Amino acid sequence: MNFERLRIRLILAFMLVSLVPLASLGYKLISQGETLIEESASSYLNGLSKQNAEAVKGYLLERVNDLKHLSSMICMLNPDTAILAAHLEQMKDRVPSYLGFFTLNRSEKLVFSTRNLSMAPLLDQLSDTLEYTWMGASFTDIFAFPHGQETIGQEKIPALMICISILQKWQTNCSHLCAVIDFRFVDDLLRKSNIEDTGEVYLVDGTGRFLSASRFGARALADTIAIDLSDGRAHGLHEIIDYRGEQVLQAFQKVDTFSWYVMADQDMAEIVNRIRNLGREAMIYGLLTALVVFGLALFISTIIVNILKAKYQYEKELEFQVIQKEKLASLGLLTSGLAHELNTPLANALLYTQIAKEELAESKNEKIHHYLSTVIDEVRRGSKIIRNLLDFSRHSQRDDQATDSNKIVTKLMDITRPHCTAKNISVITALEPEIPFVKADASTFQAILTNLVANAIEAMAKGGVLTVKTRYMPAVQKIKIEVADSGPGIARQEVTKIFDPFFTTKKPGDGTGLGLFISYEMARKLGGDIKVISATKEDAARSGTIFTIELPVA
């Protein structure tokens, strides 16, 4: 089974399931975000133009109220010229936007003016008629007013003139009070609303002439912008090419009563750049999300694949064990049959050897007698081994059986002793006599003991000492069977895992890791236990391992 291919497919499935909905949602949000940015910019520019139109009207209303206050004072006090000049100078000091004041009689002849106020252009402007009437006051249009000392090349600034009637007690127009206002203060008012890097607010008249200076260098009363207000709209929003030649989104709002328009615009490039930034941010967030999803997919798929791999490996091991078990079962049958076949000729050989020995009894040849005695001993020894092998090949499992542990140990040692001798392994048995039987069937006990003895022999590849002891513990009513070897021992970190299934310290292919696990489980099922103590040369002076089987007495 290709687990890596499965992992890749799981990752792709996670990515598709997670990212496709996220991509759809992201696309929808970006589209809505672009629309929202455009709508937000349009709404903001519209609001800005209306707000500043009201601010201009508010500024003019404050000036009208100032003049009404001054006219009431003049009306009540009927001051002389000196007192009037003092009050007007105080007003100029309090409100810096006032350039000066003057009064006219009923024939519109100059009666009084503040100092440093050039009257010639003002009277000319006044003679051109006042264009607007609002809140009881008359207004001229914005005009260029020479500012400073009367010298050649003096600066001209945008100015506005406001006039209001001075009323006597009997409510008769007797004269007019006029004020000249520095319109550059409206510039400052509009400049406070500049937007980001390219947005600006300025004031133009119906012909497109700038009445206030712009943020990017347009001069008041000198530069113009191409606008089309022929449809008579008081407000609107459109995309145009502005005075700089840039494509802008522009909102305009007419100042009521006056033919002035507040323009609020922002470069389309900056608005589009905000949309692009939104797209870039969405792309970054999308990539980060994809990385997070990929990491989670890799983590989860790895866990799933590892679980499946472990399960698959476990099933393969079980399958292998079943096959091995079948082989061993077949081998057991063959061994049992072979033992029966060998036992018959050995018995015949023993019989005829004994007959030959009796017939030669009268012979004085001691050498022949010795040879025949040796043959008889060896045949009997072979028969004993075969009988033990037959006993070990019989399998029956009954929970109510009782087994003589010393007898099983003795038979097993008789079978394994030749093998141990060939491997230069000394066998020591220390069996406590007359101990009670263990509560276990002989087959199960044999399987447990055989597994431990076989492991001990394999651990001593270069020879050693195999020790098997039995001991009765009356206090806990248990029998202890110790199987000890003088091998290299088991590492400390491996001792705790020695009874885990499929764990083995042997080379790959030499062991399945199920022998000790099965023995441990069988001992536990019988109500007993298997314990292990091991030491390596790094841990103690002498290395070796001791397995202890504890089983309840019958």
The predicted structure's pLDDT at residue 79: 56
Name the more confident of 528 and 499. Answer: 528
Rounded percentage of the chain residues whose pLDDT exceeds 70: 78
Q: What is the mean pLDDT of residues 438-444?
A: 83
Cα(452)–Cα(286) distance, integer angstroms: 61
DSSP E strand boundaries for 200-259: 200-205, 235-241, 247-255
The predicted structure's pLDDT at residue 105: 76
Q: What is the mean pLDDT of residues 412-424?
A: 83
Residue 373 resides in a domain: no
Residue 88 resides in a domain: no
Cα(247)–Cα(198) distance, integer angstroms: 11
Q: Give residue 401's domain range.
A: 397-552
pLDDT at 252 over 90: yes
The predicted structure's pLDDT at residue 170: 45
On the 0-12 / 13-18 / 19+ scale of CB atoms within 10 A, 252 is: buried
Residue 462 resides in a domain: yes
Residue 174 resides in a domain: no
Measure the CA dihedral 94/98/103/104, to 10°.
-160
pLDDT at 399 over 60: no
The predicted structure's pLDDT at residue 217: 87
Residue 388 resides in a domain: no
pLDDT at 158 over 60: yes
Q: How many domains does the chain have?
A: 1
Q: What does the pLDDT look like over 2-44, one tens digit per residue?
A: 778 888 888 888 778 877 877 777 777 777 767 777 888 889 8
- pTM check: above 0.85: no
What's 545's domain CATH number? Answer: 3.30.565.10
Determine phi and psi for 176, rounding to 5 degrees: -125, 145
Closest CA to 159 of 100, 103, 87, 95: 100
Cα(396)–Cα(441) distance, integer angstroms: 7
Residue 391 resides in a domain: no
Name the more confident of 469 and 519. Answer: 469
Output the CA–CA distances (angstroms, integers) from residue 218 to 53, 221, 263, 401, in the order listed. Answer: 19, 9, 13, 115
The predicted structure's pLDDT at residue 46: 92
Q: Where do we find the tokens 């009881």?
A: 136
Determine phi and psi for 506, rounding to 5 degrees: -80, 170
The predicted structure's pLDDT at residue 428: 92
The identity of residue 355, as a single letter, is I
The predicted structure's pLDDT at residue 60: 93
Q: What is the mean pLDDT of residues 362-386?
A: 68
The identity of residue 483, as a single letter, is V
Residue 193 resides in a domain: no
The predicted structure's pLDDT at residue 484: 93
The predicted structure's pLDDT at residue 371: 66
The beta-carbon contacts of 48-52 under 8 Å, at least 24 apart in sequence, are 48/193, 48/195, 48/201, 48/251, 48/264, 49/201, 49/235, 49/251, 49/252, 49/253, 49/262, 49/263, 49/264, 50/235, 50/253, 50/262, 51/193, 52/189, 52/190, 52/193, 52/201, 52/253, 52/262, 52/264
Residue 542 resides in a domain: yes
pLDDT at 334 over 60: no
Cα(447)–Cα(458) distance, integer angstroms: 16
Output the CA–CA distances (angstroms, integers) from residue 180 to 32, 80, 260, 422, in the order listed. Answer: 51, 21, 18, 130
